[in-house]
Chains A and B, each alone.
Chain A
Amino acid sequence: DAKTTQPNSMESNEEEPVHLPCNHSTISGTDYIHWYRQLPSQGPEYVIHGLTSNVNNRMASLAIAEDRKSSTLILHRATLRDAAVYYCIPTEGGIQGAQKLVFGQGTRLTINP
């Protein structure tokens, strides 16, 4: 499994963009990059995933480096509700990949009013 490196914590201000980095230098060519977040006292919540191209959805954008050794989750306009622990998880796609989601310690994001 690819190892990931994420900052332990980050801080940002409300209504400003947030860029959450993740290094996954040992990622294999077929691994997808998944992002989940966990709000306080709740279960994790799926955010976004991608393989090679940048991806956008209603929650966030995912920018993947050309060599795929790193990626950045972008919250375009942070709200207080975005305060959570964010997990970056490279894993295979499909059935096998979903079974191998390994949640590391993630990045704890604090949003200041």
Chain B
Amino acid sequence: QVQLKETGPDLVQLTQTLSITCTVSGFSLTTYNVHWVRQPPGKGLEWMGAMWNGGGTDYNSAFKSRLSISRDTSKSQVFLKMNSLQTDDTAKYFCARTTGDWFAYWGQGTLVTVSS
């Protein structure tokens, strides 16, 4: 069955770089698109960007200057890297797979706290 799982640090220091891995199973990254969505504690959802099945990427312009998404298809992994972290980057980070343009499958998310 389709599964996504995020792994990353619980704590990141202010101004440092965040790296999260999304490991998927039950489908191929060359067939489906995988997106990153984040949710600050007690707040709403924010789309960050996407890794398209063809290998291209798309980013929310709110993050474009400091966000990078990449993948390793041989390991079925999608990577998120975001630099210059601030306290308002504290959030749960989800990876999600689309079917069409909607998020049909989600990982459980990983909570990242940015500490000063």
Q: Decide whether A and B are members of one complex.
A: no
Interfacial residues, chain B to chain A (CB-CB below 8 A): none
Interfacial residues, chain A to chain B (CB-CB below 8 A): none
